[in-house]
Chain A
Amino acid sequence: MSASIIVLVEHLKGNIPEISYEMLGVARKIADASGGKVYALIAGKGSSALATGLGAADVALVLEDSSADVMNDDVLIEALKQAINEKQATLVLVGCTNISFGIGTRLALRSGMPFINWVKDIKTTEGEMVVTSALFGGKVLSDIVLKDKKGILGILSGVFPPDAGKIAKQPSIEHIAKPEIKSKITFRSLMEPKAGDIDISRMDVLVSVGRGIQSPDNIPLAEELANALGGAVSSSRPVVDQGWLPLTRQVGKSGMNVSPELYLALGISGAPEHYEGMKGAKLVVAINTDPKAPIFDFAHYGAVVDCLEIIELLKEEIQKRKGTQ
């Protein structure tokens, strides 16, 4: 059976994020192996122009709509459902992202296809498809067999190569009509991050703190270390949720994408949501008491110690080398 795959392409402020290319790349691979087709569904203001760059797809299904920068999920789900029916889709790929959150599950109920979240691998054989889902922030993996190779998959960011989805040709464009539905949700505006704080995405050195920092009283210690290194303090989600640092310092899925020369992670476990925001870092050093913390899988150097025990000593060593002490 040849695959017919629909990829939901995201875009925000005129940019298509890497996850969309990552999905197009893996879709292309699966389709080519079975002589199938890839459809890229893109909706909202500016879709027509963006669709021309989706060369990894055979066909771009374009729902141009000047009324909103961000499409209503209710409209997207219905458009996807219609596309599934028309294209006899066997697979639908949506990003495991905030912007596409909740689309896969609801589409699953409406289309009768199963939904698998947190997908980090897809293996196809003649007879079946094995999908690997990463649970507990990647600490446990689960294989699920799709016997008829049909399903809706929520794809994790950063697990498939984006370059495979960037093919320099134009897909054929097929315009689709906006489904007529009555939604009780209205998109009002896009809110930019609050200005005023430092911009962590521009820093060369980040000392990033996670749960392991334990208390807001310890944040100044991290700040002193960051100063010694000529950088700034950033953090993982729980620290911001606790109100210990402002949202502008959060690295990850909802927060900022950073790519410093040095990312020093103190007491951060390294869940996929966090990895997504700091995968561009050139040098990653992780300090964590848990030797099995996922962060050690993508750090260059690591130490299994309590970050609170090393902060002060590290600051002293750095100052010694810089001759400031």
Chain B
Amino acid sequence: MTEVLIPSDATIVEIAQEVWSSILEDAGELTSVFGFDEKHETAVLAFIEITGNWHGSVRISCSVQAAKHIAAGMFGKSEIDVEDDELSDAVGEFTNIIGGNIKALFPSPCNLSLPGVAGIGSFADNLPPGLEDKISEVQVVEVHLEWEGEPLSIGLWENK
């Protein structure tokens, strides 16, 4: 059986920062933090599934404001002009790119699903479509990042 090494927190942070700075106009700095204050309420949720020599999912949650910044940076418009469908599309594509770069760390062959995006809530009570049947997955990595005080978390969940 192929030996699979789980990517480190530092590697996930590096991928997130590279994707952030490469695809967003006026990206600003995405910094790694140890955790979030209670005041932070993540509201936009996305995931993408990896299957093959490693099986699990990459789950991203962020505040609405961070999601608007992602969408604004990708669509080249101001945050106030971002429509809901643009926000969903942009967070989905952001998740797809991060998921693809994480997938590349696992032994080939691995496949990537299309991303799923949901809004408002937590993964526990508001799962993006397609994530309902992933209750057997356990979290193996979680990193917390911030852009101008707005939270963005990336979790790696393994299907055991």
Is B a genuine binding partner of A? no
Which positions in A face B, CB cutoff 8 Å?
Answer: none
